[in-house]
Structure formats: structure tokens, C-alpha cells
């Protein structure tokens, strides 16, 4: 069968995990669009359901199992046959073994096999799902950015600059499912951003498992600072990037961030622990002192930067003293926000083989103390924004109140505000609106329109 056999079928993509998965989901949707398929608003209404997965934490596996298995009892789709597909990191990890824990899966495609998805769906449907169709080829030279896309936003775009990781943190599965670092050619990244700007995109987010090492594999040395300058020269209004590893964040990159108005004053810099001993066992390749020295250099160059982070609680054999060092680092670094996690064992990583006698309730207690501190700091940071006027890129109405608009400040803080009297809210989506901050809450700002949108 040819891919034309998919024309007229409906599809729905559900995404778990990181920004790279969000980008890959847009490419999945673009590939299916190019086959003549039509997007359905819910999985229950789709002939083809695609789950794009993350395997960094155990919770993602559980969510996938529950949602994929629920398709068995879902209403019969328009074509009379539903095809369940699993892509992304869990698919890469499990391959042909996927049916051992999700019996109703029909298609499995790995992190480098998005282009194969239409063929796999055709083959599965021609056999009514009697056998699993899988493609989990090892990473090659192609990038998913070379495929058609179906962007969720007309004014924001994800732009991968590299994929894979060479760091092999002892708790992390990513290098095993995404492969080693592979950087795109700088001219290809810049050409993509230029095309996006011509298409009306105002904000791009540069993606990689470790953007700070961009170019090392291709050019022999990291060239991320140079890339930032080249992307800024395209005229794009806002530039963000993730993820950023502390050991590779250079003074040249800090200088570029400080000098380029298009680079937003926000940085996500995962610390994971405040204990040098735990960092050593995590194979993070920096110490507590190294991280705090880096924070001081960043703030010296950009005093108003919003610094966020990731922190893991309960890494095998973490002691109370280790945890107290994490709390003190959080206070000293003065993060504007933080993503906090209880350690999740990932089979196949070195840390998974380490026994830990620490009681679960003790780990939970530490986690609760950290969350309380992070919330306190986020609230303090947001209250300090009261009285400022911030430029908000409007994303749409609030989910809780359609009369309230939501977007993000340059510091990447969620901002809520009511549309000016007489203005059509829909006309403001994708516009930059100056908003005077009237109230700072732990997780968002609230304000009022303070000028004309642009």
C-alpha cells in the first residue's frame, strides 16, 4: 500500500515529556498532514492515536500504559479500526518488547524514525494490527527538523540545534535512547529561523539535551555563543534555549546573552543537587562551588536574570547533610523557580544498580521541605515584579477564565491580564502587550494592560 491510503483518516497526537518531544510531535503531525490525514480533537475521535513518550521518569511509563490501554474500550473510530502508535524515548527503549506491557499497541517508532511512521501505519492497518510494526533504528545523520511540521503556535517555534547527549549522568537514560551528541550545521539552523521569521514567528526556543556543547562534534569546539549571535541577526524578536548544562556554560555564552536584546533574560540551569558528593556520584562533572561561582558570573553580567533549575531529591544514599546542602544552595542561588523531583530509578543506568536503605517517608519529607522553600522563593521573586511593566507575548485565553488572557514575560513568568475594554481578545493572540504587574503569586503574575499591543 502507498501512503495515499492514509488520506482522509483522522489522527491525534498526545505528548509526554520534554520540549524535544513537543517539537517531534509537531513533526509527526506534519508528516501525517502530508499524507492527507486530518487532525482530530481527542484520541477517542481518531483513527490513529500517536503517543509521543518520555522515559526520564517512571511516572511517564505509568501514564502511557494507562492512556494507551484506555483505547481498547474507547468508541469505535470513524474508519472502524483504531491504530495505536507509540513513539519517542520509551519506544526507542522498548522496541519490539512494547506489547509485553501495552498489548494493544500496533506501531512502535523510535526517536529517529518519525519519517517511517506513515509506512508503519499503512502496514499495520493492512493487517488489521495482527503484528507489531516497529522501527527503532539507531540514531543517524538526519534531523526531524527536515520533515514537514504542524506547529501548535503561529508565533512560537521549537528549533532543535542538536540531539543526543555525551554526559552520561548516572541517573539519566537520555544518552541511551537519544544517542550521542549530533549538532546541526549552523547555516541550517539560521536558515530555518529566517524562514520562521518570514512566516510570522516572533519567538524561537533552541533545543538540545545540552545546548552549551553545540558544535563540539561538528566543528571541534563548542560554538553556541556564535550561534546565538547568528540567530539574533535573523531579526527574530525573542530567543530562548534549553537545556543548559552548567559544566559547559562559557563566559562567551554569558556575554552573548547579556549583549543580545533578543535573548530573553531567563536561564534554566539544572543543578540537581547542592552536595558535591552527590554531584560526583551523579557524574555531573562540577562541584557545589563551581555552580555557585557560575551563578555569580551570570548575575554579574545580567543582574535581573531569572534563574530556574531542576533538583532531584532522594538520589541513592543521599544523607540529611547532603539534603541540607541542597537547601542552602537553593537559598544562595535565589532561583526564581525550580522543577523538583523525587529520584526515579531508570533501568540501564548506573544509579539503578545502587541499593538505598533510606525510608521512602524520609525522602518524601525532604521533598516536601524543598517544595516549600522553592514556592517561598518563587513567591518572593514574583512579588518583587509588582509595579514593573513587562512585555507579554500573548498566547491565548486562560483555561480557567476565557475573559483573561495569558502569556509569558521576558523572564518566562506566566502573566494573566484582562483584555482592554473594547478590544477583541482573539486579535491580541500573538501580539506583545505591555502589562503593568499588580500582583505576584507563587506561580504567576497578574496585571493590567499598560499600552498598545504590537
Report how far residue 194's alpha carbon sits from residue 200's, in angstroms, rounded to the nearest whole number: 10
Report how far residue 293's alpha carbon sits from residue 307's, in angstroms, rounded to the nearest whole number: 14
Torsion of CA 388, 390, 394, 400, to 10 degrees: -20
Q: Which residues are annotated as a binding site?
A: 18, 54, 89, 165, 169, 172
Residue 345, classed as helix, strand or coil, is coil
What residue has cell string 530573553?
A: 264
CA-closest candidate to residue 342, choices 316, 374, 378:
316
> Which residues, 6 or more positions from 391, have their beta carbon under 8 angstroms from its beta carbon?
409, 410, 432, 433, 434, 435
Q: Which residues are annotated as a binding site for [4Fe-4S] cluster?
A: 18, 54, 89, 165, 169, 172
Cβ atoms of 416 and 398 within 8 Å: the answer is yes
Q: Residue 153 has what DSSP assignment?
A: -
Report how far residue 164's alpha carbon sits from residue 182's, in angstroms, rounded to the nearest whole number: 6
Question: How do strand 432-440 and strand 389-397 relate by DSSP bridges?
Answer: antiparallel
Residue 237 backbone class (left: φ over 0; alpha: ψ -120 to 50; beta: rest): alpha
Torsion of CA 56, 160, 137, 44, to 10 degrees: 70
Cβ atoms of 202 and 239 within 8 Å: the answer is no
Report how far residue 397's alpha carbon sits from residue 426's, in angstroms, rounded to the nearest whole number: 8
Rounded to whole angstroms, the maximal C-alpha distance in the chain is: 63
What residue has cell string 530555518?
A: 192
Tallying the residues shown for the chain, one arrives at 454
DSSP 372-392: HHHHHHHHHHHHTTTT-EEEE
Report how far residue 168's alpha carbon sits from residue 90's, in angstroms, rounded to the nearest whole number: 18
Report how far residue 297's alpha carbon sits from residue 303's, in angstroms, rounded to the nearest whole number: 10
Residue 354 backbone class (left: φ over 0; alpha: ψ -120 to 50; beta: rest): beta
Amino acid at each position: 500500500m502507498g501512503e495515499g491510503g492514509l488520506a482522509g483518516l483522522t489522527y491525534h497526537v498526545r505528548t509526554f515529556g520534554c520540549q524535544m518531544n513537543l517539537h517531534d510531535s509537531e513533526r509527526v503531525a506534519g508528516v501525517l498532514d502530508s499524507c492527507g490525514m486530518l487532525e482530530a480533537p481527542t484520541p477517542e475521535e481518531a483513527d490513529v492515536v500517536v503517543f509521543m513518550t518520555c522515559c526520564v521518569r517512571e511516572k511517564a511509563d505509568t501514564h502511557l500504559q494507562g492512556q494507551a490501554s484506555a483505547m481498547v474500550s474507547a468508541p469505535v473510530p470513524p474508519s472502524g479500526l483504531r491504530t495505536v502508535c507509540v513513539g519517542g524515548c520509551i519506544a526507542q527503549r522498548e522496541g519490539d518488547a512494547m506489547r509485553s506491557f501495552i498489548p494493544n499497541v500496533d506501531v512502535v517508532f523510535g526517536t529517529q524514525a518519525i519519517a517511517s511512521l506513515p509506512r508503519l501505519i499503512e502496514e499495520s492497518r493492512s493487517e488489521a494490527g495482527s503484528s507489531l510494526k516497529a522501527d527503532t533504528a539507531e540514531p543517524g545523520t538526519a534531523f526531524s527538523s527536515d520533515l514537514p511540521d504542524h506547529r501548535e503556535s503561529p508565533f512560537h517555534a521549537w528549533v532543535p540545534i542538536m540531539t543526543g547527549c555525551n554526559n552520561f549522568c548516572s541517573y539519566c537514560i537520555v544518552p541511551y535512547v537519544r544517542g550521542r551528541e549530533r549538532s546541526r550545521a549552523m547555516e541550517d539552523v539560521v536558515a530555518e529561523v529566517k524562514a520562521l521569521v518570514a512566516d510570522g514567528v516572533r519567538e524561537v526556543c533552541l533545543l538540545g539535551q545540552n545546548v552549551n556543547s553545540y558544535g563540539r562534534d561538528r566543528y571541534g569546539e563548542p560554538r553556541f555563543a556564535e550561534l546565538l549571535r547568528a540567530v539574533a541577526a535573523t531579526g527574530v524578536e525573542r530567543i530562548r534555549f534549553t537545556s543548559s548544562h552548567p559544566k559547559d556554560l562559557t563566559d562567551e555564552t554569558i556575554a552573548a546573552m547579556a549583549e543580545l536584546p533578543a535573548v530573553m533574560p531567563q536561564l534554566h540551569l539544572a543543578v540537581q543537587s547542592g552536595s558535591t558528593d552527590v554531584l560526583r556520584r551523579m557524574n555531573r562533572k562540577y562541584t557545589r562551588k563551581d555552580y555557585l561561582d557560575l551563578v555569580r558570573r551570570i548575575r554579574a553580567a545580567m543582574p535581573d536574570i531569572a534563574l530556574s533549575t531542576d533538583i532531584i531529591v532522594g538520589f541513592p544514599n543521599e544523607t540529611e547533610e547532603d539534603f541540607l546542602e541542597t537547601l542552602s544552595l537553593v537559598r544562595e542561588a535565589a532561583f526564581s523557580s525550580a522543577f523538583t523531583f523525587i529520584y526515579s530509578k531508570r533501568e540501564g543506568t548506573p544509579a539503578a544498580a545502587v541499593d538505598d536503605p533510606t525510608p521512602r517517608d524520609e525522602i518524601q519529607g525532604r521533598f516536601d521541605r524543598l517544595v516549600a522553600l522553592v514556592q517561598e522563593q518563587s513567591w518572593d521573586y514574583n512579588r518583587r515584579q509588582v509595579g514593573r511593566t513587562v512585555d507579554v507575548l500573548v498566547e491565548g485565553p486562560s483555561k480557567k477564565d476565557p475573559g483573561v488572557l495569558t502569556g509569558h514575560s521576558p523572564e518566562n513568568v506566566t502573566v494573566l491580564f484582562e483584555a482592554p475594554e473594547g478590544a477583541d481578545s482573539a486579535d491580541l493572540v500573538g501580539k506583545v502587550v505591555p502589562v503593568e504587574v499588580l500582583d505576584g503569586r507563587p506561580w504567576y503574575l497578574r496585571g493590567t494592560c499598560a499600552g498598545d499591543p504590537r
